Structure 1
Amino acid sequence: MNVFDILDRLVAFPSVAGRANGDIASWIEAHLAEQGAKVTLLPGPEGDRSNLFATIGPIDVSGYILSGHMDVVPAGEPQWSSAPFTLRREGERFYGRGTTDMKGFLAAALAAVPHLAGLRLARPIHLAFSYDEEIGCRGVPHLIARLPELCAKPLGVIVGEPSGMRAVRGHKGKAAARVIVKGRSGHSSRPDLGLNAIHAMADVLSAAVIEAERLRHGPFDTTFEPPYSSLQAGVIAGGQSVNIIPDTCALDLEARAIPRVDPASLLAPIKACAETVTAEGFQVEWMPISAYPALSLPQDAALAGLLHELTGEAPLAAVSYGTEAGLYQAAGFDAIICGPGDISRAHKPDEYILASELAACQRIIEALGARCSA
């Protein structure tokens, strides 16, 4: 199968994050097994979805991991010009949910496997495909925990998120959480008999706004835009009617941290403020939603040099979006981003990838194989 045929099969699986992924994982497992790869499915604790790890070449020698996620965001937008889970080609463009983010990379890696298998690799190339990346990188930590039993410590991890095949050395870390305030309902004419959860949440929201403004004053890292950590309130919901005292209010918060700053620590002042509301008789729940660390690969790292040679361009210092690469680095492995497509096309109707981008990605993976061959 060529890269386009493989992409067609992958897009046909509606592998939306948070749902069972046995169909796509099993298809990839069977496809790789046909090529002679050593494949392991790694069920997650949810019980209905799995990570996948495969090796081409020797297991007991250090090599490189090609990392990607099998899940996609939902495709319910009415603006799609065609069925989102059916690959559609128009000239050089291949339309479908996940074509850019990031089944295009998976397809290029899988299409390169027969070539890699024929090289008699002295150093292995591994494929690490995860689940539930789109809802907070929830699957890959379970895969990373199993790496010591699956392979020798890798020389580097290439995360194939869409970057226009330009390697990227860094991104910010992220933490998100939901705070729920529960009060007591009643008729709005008797506010003295109820506990207004929206009013109580006002203090929490105010704390978030104050903290967001404080972060604008540093610390700074000019690698990023903006060059400081940030915090925002993204969703707030509560109440039923203007004449009912609202008994529940929920607020979703997100923090993005420059390297060497713990993203979760940025939410701590808001959590502390929320806890003070309990003194007024309210109940408060704090629910972490997602978290991943920043990525910061040194400019002189061997992995950065390798990608410079393979792509012909010096790696970019950083991008604004986040990936699983920070989790690999936190586990002690050098990691870098490099994949086909443009992030601006992701998470929107008529997502697409170019045939030339898929071909370029496959060429670079095969060139990596040549570097690893005997």
Structure 2
Amino acid sequence: MTEAIGLLERLVGFPTVAGTGNAPLIGWVRDYLEAQGAKVTLLPGPEGDRFNLFATIGDPNLPGYVLSGHVDVVPAQEPGWQGDPFVLRREGGRLIGRGACDMKGFDAAVLAAAPQLAAMPLAAPVHIALSYDEELGCRGVPHLLSRLPDLCAPPLGCIVGEPTGLVPVLGHKGKAALRLVAEGQAGHSSRPDLGVNAIHALLPALTAAAAQAEALVHGPQDDRFAPPWSTLQIGTVEGGQALNIIPDHAEARIEARAIPGADPRALLDPVATASDVSVEWLSSYPALALDPGHPLATLAAELSGNAPQAAVSFGTEAGLFQQAGVPAIVCGPGDIGRAHRPEEYLREDELAGAVEMILALGRHLC
């Protein structure tokens, strides 16, 4: 456990906030894994300062299993922190720091297990996939997945270690998000005929969004989820400077969350086409739906000691692995309720449980 805690301390110490560079962390992980004998490939993203990492312990030409995590974290500017969020603190069995639960704890467990995995006579490989900008809508991992056929034989499955209390999760909704921007012409509000109101230009799209949200309530249902229908919401609307100035700029951010079988981007199409404004797609990832009888579900239950759960409300990269042809399940340490909050933490026993689950996978492959 001391090794795993030390590794988590190092990972938390890299302030890899989503949307910023992660080269120092990825370089350190590469050196660590190569020292364990793993074959490591760095996969730069198009941004130039962010990298995915893919590593293999064992023979990459044989079908094996992927352990997947992301290394980015949400910002840590909330006033409720009792210490530096990027310095891990140990208090009463809690490991406190930004990303400790979501999801550098799983990453640390994987790294802690790597030396023992490397010493095992594995009949199938264990792959480690670390991605960037998951918190911005799973933007980084598609670049990794596009290279997967060059890196290894088709995997038998993928365990995405998001915090589920080490309970295997079979499904989650997909998500898409967009930003609408309207440009107008400023002027005095007493002469609207001499200006163009950007907020007014957004109204058809906002009206379409509200109508689509209501229509989805009466659309296809999946009782594994709460609520059981696909959802759509207007998250933010911004525009205008003062009451007596015609707004020359306005924008809105809108998201859709889709049950399995529905395309989240398609849910937003009526919104994207309702106004003559610019549309920027912010993110998109598919739903996850693993059959309860799939061998990966059985294996994850055996490794974790917990029966699979049908679904969770939050999204992960697992749907993208599944879309790429890799069966995927979500199972990692911690509680999602602690994520994205001040004093985020992972318990020491949860970290130890994750290490044991990963080592159990290694023993299964021997």
Instruction: Look up the match of 1:187.
Output: 188
Using the TM superposition, give the Cα deviation of residue 197 of structure 1 relative to its aligned residue in structure 2, in angstroms: 1.3
Aligned twin of 1:65: 66
CA distance in 1, matches of 2:81, 2:216: 38
1:356 equivalenced with 2:349 (yes/no): yes
3-state SS, counterpart of residue 244 of structure 1: coil
Give, in angstroms, the shift of residue 297 of structure 1: 0.3
Q: 1:219-262: CA deviations, max 9, x gaps?
A: 10111110000000000000011110001110100000000100
Provide the C-alpha distance between the structure 2 equivalents of 1:305 and 1:53, rounded to a whole number of angstroms.
25
1:313 positional shift: 2.0
Q: Where does residue 31 of structure 2 map in the other structure?
A: 30
Partner of 2:102, secondary structure, is: helix
SS at match of 2:275: helix
- The equivalent of 1:142 in structure 2 is 143
2:284 matched to which residue of 1? 291
Q: For the residues of structure 2 that align with 1:5 and 1:225, how far apart are their CA atoms?
A: 38
Matches within 5 A, 1:97-116: 97-116=98-117
| Identity across matched positions, percent | 59
2:131 aligns with: 130
Return the offset for 1:26: 0.3
Q: Which residue of 1 aligns with 2:319?
A: 326
* Normalised TM-score (structure 1): 0.96
What's the CA shift string for 1:343-369, capped at 9, x where partnerless?
000011100000000000000100000
Most deviating of 255-264 and 306-315: 306-315
Moved over 2 A (4+): none
State the SS of the aligned residue for 1:224.
coil
> Matches of residues 1-374 of structure 1 in structure 2 within 5 Å?
2-275=3-276, 284-373=277-366
Residue 114 of structure 1, CA deviation: 0.9
Alpha-carbon distance in 2 for matches of 1:145, 1:188: 52
Contact residue 179 and residue 274 of structure 1 kept, 8 A: no
Amino acid at match of 1:169: L
How far residue 2 of structure 1 moved from its aligned partner, in angstroms, is 0.6
Deviations along 1:142-199, whole A, 9 cap, x unmatched?
1011111111110000000000000000000000000111111100111111111112
Q: How far apart, CA to CA, are the structure 2 residues paired with 1:38 and 1:192?
A: 66
Instruction: Give unmatched runs, 5+ long, in structure 1.
Output: 276-283
SS at match of 1:104: helix
**Deviation (angstroms), 1:336:** 0.2
CA distance in 2, matches of 1:309, 1:36: 28
Q: Give the drift of 1:200.
A: 2.5
What is the identity, as a one-letter code, of the residue corresponding to 1:52?
L
RMSD between superposed Cα atoms in Å:
0.8
> In structure 1, what is the Cα distance between the partners aligned to 2:307 and 2:120?
27
Equivalent position SS for 2:176: strand
CA distance in 1, matches of 2:182, 2:7: 48
Q: Report the CA distance between 1:58 and its aligned residue.
A: 1.0
State the distance in 2 between where 1:201 and 1:34 align: 55
- Paired residue secondary structure (1:198): helix
| 8 Å contact from structure 1 (residues 172, 258) kept in 2 | yes
Residue identity in the other structure for 1:243: N
CA contact (8 A) 2:166 2:306 kept: no
- The 10-residue stretch of structure 1 (90-99 or 190-199) with the greater mean CA deviation from structure 2: 190-199
Preserved CA contact (<8 Å) 2:22 2:51: yes
TM-score by length of 2: 0.98
Assess if the C-alpha contact under 8 Å between 1:170 and 1:318 holds in 2.
Answer: yes
2 CA distance for matches of 1:274 and 1:326?
Answer: 31
CA distance in 2, matches of 1:257, 1:244: 39
Q: Residue deviations 1:315-339, cap 9 Å, x none?
A: 1010000000000000111000000
Q: Deviations over 1:240-286 (max 9, x none)?
A: 111100011101000000001000011111112113xxxxxxxx110
Contact 2:64 2:157 in 1 (8 A): yes
Distance (whole Å) between structure 1 residues aligned to residue 227 and residue 41 of structure 2: 41
The Cα of 1:205 is off from its aligned counterpart by 1.2
What does the per-residue CA deviation read over 1:16-54, in whole Å, with 9 as the maximum and x for residues that have no partner? 111111000000001111111111111111111110011
CA–CA distance in structure 2, aligned partners of residues 112 and 326 of structure 1: 25
Q: Which amino acid aligns with 1:292?
A: Y
Q: Deviations over 1:49-73 (max 9, x none)?
A: 1100111111111010000001111
Partner AA of 1:216 in structure 2: V
> What count of residue pairs does the alignment treat as equivalent?
365
For 1:310 and 1:167, how far apart are their aligned partners in 2?
Answer: 10
SS at match of 1:245: coil
